[in-house]
Amino acid sequence: MVQVVAKTGNEAMAEAMRQINPDVVAAYPITPATEIVMIFSQFVADGLVNTQYVPVESEHSAMSATIAASAAGARAMTGTSSQGLALMYELLPIASALRLPIVMPEVNRALSGPINIHNDHSDTFAARDFGWIQIFSENSQEAYDNMLQAVRIAEHPKVKLPTMVTTDGFIISHCLEKIEVFEDDVVKNYVGKFPAYTNLLDLKNPVTLGALDLQNYYFEHRRQTAEAMKSAKEIILEVGKDFGKKFGREYGFFEEYKMDDAEMAIVCLGSIAGSAKSVVDEYREKGVKVGLMKIRVYRPFPAEEIASVLERMKAVAVVEKADGLAAKGGPLFDEIRSALYDKKKKPSVIDFIVGLGGREVTHKHLNEIFDELKDLAATGIVKELIQYKGVR
Amino acid sequence: MAQDLGWKELPEGDTLKAGTAAQFHTGDWRSKKPVKDEKTCINCLFCYIYCPDSAVKVQDGKMIGIDYNYCKGCGICESVCPVKPVKAIKMVSER
């Protein structure tokens, strides 16, 4: 039933797309998109999928065509990264407003400028308020698993929202890893038939989509989308649990690593969690009660759930690959600190902005962060609230 | 469409029945309106073909008038009217 193969993050996501076998993929399969949609176009050329592939002239058009296909009643996907995602920004909130269950792999990479192609989370974080579910992956296996779950989440009748599944550029997207893939039929049954909620081609029941929505209705529709995002939380957990039952790997809003008796915690997302876990192990050996929380679902933001775990800590260090450029820290820090504000007993929270533009986050950097976290837990004194780590 | 529905009652995702634009009188904000000269109109139907709002009314192959509920007053009908020396459609100020 399970095959163990070597795949890069991009190949793993493209493989998931092949098995999902969407009706339509509209994509711009060259830079700044990563290889995902290019690999997928080969599947189309080789006749391995039944997908109608629409090569478009930009990501703006890719998302437009994907929205149109989804509205017409097709299971529609696309994929992108970095500047490509930025070029889609204008369309992303339209996909969620129309409640279209599009699933999109997105490879986290820096935004220009200066021009850069390497990993950080600026592109995806900037899209956080567009009504898209955002799921982060630590490695290729999670990327594959998340892609399959994303279909079930996005298309659930209580959700009907577009969903992006992310990996970290180059660190995951181009790194060869051993992963387990399921048989085609297993995936086919798992994702099921596409429940076309809107069908523009049904001439007997014509509908209007995307009508003008001014002062009198826009607000109500935004409120609806917010509610849909909130209801998605329950479904994300349900799908994650069910995935665990079926395939042995259970998923939630976040992963807790050695958090049970922890007094202090590192919070991060994506590939950095791998290195951070090994540093947690080192400090555990020295008797330091430190744990790690790896955020998997960034939107809808599981604020209460995160806070109810972190409130037990004395100190928390958020480690993130995005900067608010003079906001109150990075976006993750902002929201985690705010989530803890209502708790009676709350830990000191500090922010480390790391790895912008693919700058390597080394063991030494993480050691320094852990040492500072340890000091903070012992003294309660915040030396510097928001720090850049690894910048010259 | 019923007015003032709350977010719980509104159709999800702003998906509406087709043709609701007919209930919205888009001619409200016109500043000039086209007026047809019954005597000189040759019923070529150029205005009917060019009107971007389908506001030119035609019956039995004849141009019978303009639907002012939907005419936005763009003046394309006047512009394309081929009647010479004086056009059979003239834009007249609403004031």
- Across the interface, whether the CB atoms of B18 and A223 are under 8 A apart is answered no
In tens, the pLDDT along B21-61 reads: 888 888 988 999 999 999 999 999 999 999 999 999 999 99
pLDDT of residue A318: 98
How far is A130 from A103, CA to CA, in rounded Å? 14
ipTM of the shown complex: 0.81
CA angle A276, A281, A283 (to 5 degrees): 95
Beta carbons of A33 and A208 less than 8 angstroms apart: no
Spell out the domain ranges in chain A: 2-247, 254-389
Q: Are strands A52-55 and A24-27 parallel, antiparallel or unpaired?
A: parallel
CA distance B69 to B62: 20
pLDDT confidence of B11, banded at 50, 70, 90? confident
Per-residue pLDDT, A57? 94
To the question of pTM greater than 0.80 for the whole model, the response is: yes
A206 CB neighbours in chain B (<8 A) are: 17-19
| pLDDT at residue B3, as a whole number | 64
Same fold, A2-247 and A254-389: yes
SS3 of B63, please? strand
**Chain A: residue whose CA lies nearest to B3:** A216
User: Exposed/middle/buried for A212, CB within 10 Å: 0-12, 13-18, 19+?
Assistant: exposed
A2-247 homologous superfamily: Thiamin diphosphate (ThDP)-binding fold, Pyr/PP domains (3.40.50.970)
Name the average pLDDT for chain A. Answer: 96
- Nearest CB among B4, B6, B12 relative to A99 is that of B12
A106 bridge partner residues: A80, A166
Q: Would the CA dihedral through A278, A279, A283, A286 be positive or negative?
A: positive
Per CATH, which fold does A254-389 belong to? Rossmann fold (3.40.50)
Largest CA distance in chain B: 59
Which domains does chain B possess? 26-93 (3.30.70.20)
**Of B55, B47, B58, B53, nearest in space to B88 by CA:** B47
Chain A residue with Cα closest to B8: A224
Task: Provide the 3-class DSSP secondary structure of residue B56.
Answer: strand
Give the distance, in angstroms, between the CA of residue A149 and the centroid of all CA atoms in the same chain.
12
Q: Which residues of chain A have pLDDT under 70?
A: none
Find, among B23, B26, B90, the residue nearest to B52 by Cα.
Answer: B26
pLDDT of residue A29: 81
CA–CA distance, A351 with A339 (Å, rounded to integer): 15
